[in-house]
Amino acid sequence: MRNDDDRGAPTPVADRRRALQLLLSGSAVGVAALVGWPVARYVQPAPEDEAASAVELPDDEIGLWDAKLIALRGRPVLVVNTGDGYEAISAVCTHLGCIVKWKKGRRQFFCPCHGGRFDVEGRVLGGPAPRPLARLEVEELPGRIVVRLA
């Protein structure tokens, strides 16, 4: 559509208006992105503290088929003495994150929330857990053991 006093002009008013609108909404999108990106980054989980990724224990501290709960970078880890070595298993259940307990009599990890069961190497034996418990690295040195994040 043309305006009266615009007759014959190279740029009709409607075109100019459309171009301006496009420019305006374009810059609105740009401003939104400029604000949105930093905000989105800001609310992202902050990186975790990298400290203490190994824990040392004296090797006479855990009895045969007993377990000890230790903290490895703030995460609960169960260390079990199997007689011919040690297993270090993350105690966070792979189902909904409850903390599993070690049942010495059955030699199994048991989850109090929905009854997940795992063997001493963390493999699922029963219950709703979708994945085995995470296994950590254990290094046996003379007189002590070192548990490390794999």
Partner 1 sequence: MSGAAGWLDRRTGWRDFFRRHFTEARLPVGSDSWLSLGWVLVFAFALQIATGMLLLLYFVPAPEQAFESVGRIMSEVPYGWFVRLIHSHAANWMVLGLFVHLFHTALSGSYKAPRELTWITGCLLLLMVLGMALSGYILPWSQLSYWATTVVTASFRYVPFVGQELVEWVRGGELVGAPTFRRAFMAHVALLPAGLALVLVFHLALARRAGPAPPPVRGRTSSGTAPGAGIPFHPRFVLKHGIQIVLFLMLVFATVFFAPHLFSPLESFLAADPFDTPPNVKPEWYLLWAYQLPRMVPERLSLVLQGVAVTGLFALPFLDRGPARHPLDRPAATAAVLLALVALVVLTVLGYLA
Sheet with 75-81: list strands edge to edge: 54-58, 144-148, 135-141, 86-90, 75-81, 67-72
Tokens standing for residue 59 = 């090797």
Q: For the chain, what's the residue count? A: 150
For residue 10, give both structure tokens: 């190279």
Between 127 and 132, CB nearer to ligand FES: 127
Stretch that binds partner 1, among 15-23, 54-62, 68-76, 116-124 (CB under 8 A): 68-76
Tell me the per-residue interface mask from 65 to 104 with ligand FES, x by CB under 6 A, - otherwise. ----------------------------x-xxxx------
Q: Which residues bind partner 1 (CB under 8 A)?
A: 43-46, 48, 69, 71, 74-76, 91-92, 95-99, 111-114, 128
